[in-house]
């Protein structure tokens, strides 16, 4: 079997997927920088649990945040991309993580979101996924 050649639909899909992954990683780095600037300590990035991946786990004072990062063209599109299913997934992943890190059990837990756009400041929304 020969590899896809340029212009081939399969090759175009691979290239687009790589671009999306790169933009997603950039958005996560941007979100991490924002959280660090706000005094959060990053405990984990791209943490995988049996219930799904948590983009960022961060702590500040007596609060621990499990954060979903969304990158879209506009803030409204990014906010619309947050779903109740994601909230449920992150809540289960947070419970799993906390069960293995008992030092954080006494902290307030937040299911947050950081919304990132190509040309604008990222926006941190505490408890964004709690409301879903």
Which CATH number covers residue 68? 3.40.1350.10
Residue 4 located in a structural domain: no
Beta-sheet pairing, 123-125 with 63-71: unpaired
Residue 50 located in a structural domain: yes
pLDDT in tens, 112-126: 999 999 988 999 999
Residue range of the domain that includes 113: 9-125
Residue 110 located in a structural domain: yes
Residue 130 located in a structural domain: no
Element (H, E) at 28: helix 9-37
Count: domains in the chain: 1
pLDDT at position 1 over 70 = no
> pTM, whole model, 2 decimals?
0.84
Residue 131 located in a structural domain: no
Residue 2 located in a structural domain: no
The rounded distance, in Å, linking the Cα atoms of 25 and 70 is 11
pLDDT attached to residue 85: 94
Residue 3 located in a structural domain: no
What phi and psi values does residue 118 have, to the nearest 5 degrees? -60, -35
Query: Would you tell me how many other CB atoms lie within 10 Å of the CB of residue 115?
Result: 26
Task: Name which of 132, 131, 129 is nearest 65 in CA terms.
Answer: 129
């Amino acid at each position: 079997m020969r590899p896809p050649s340029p212009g081939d639909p399969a090759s175009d899909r691979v290239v687009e997927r790589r671009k999306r992954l790169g933009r997603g990683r950039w958005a996560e780095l941007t979100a991490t920088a924002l959280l660090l600037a706000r005094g959060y300590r990053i405990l984990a990035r791209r943490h995988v649990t049996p219930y799904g991946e948590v983009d960022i786990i961060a702590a500040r004072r007596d609060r621990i945040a499990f954060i979903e990062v969304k990158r879209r063209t506009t803030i409204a599109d990014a906010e619309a991309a947050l779903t109740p299913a994601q909230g449920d997934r992150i809540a289960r992943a947070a419970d799993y993580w906390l069960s293995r890190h008992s030092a954080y059990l006494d902290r307030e837990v937040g299911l947050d979101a950081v919304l990132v756009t190509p040309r604008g400041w990222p926006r941190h929304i505490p408890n964004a996924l709690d409301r879903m």
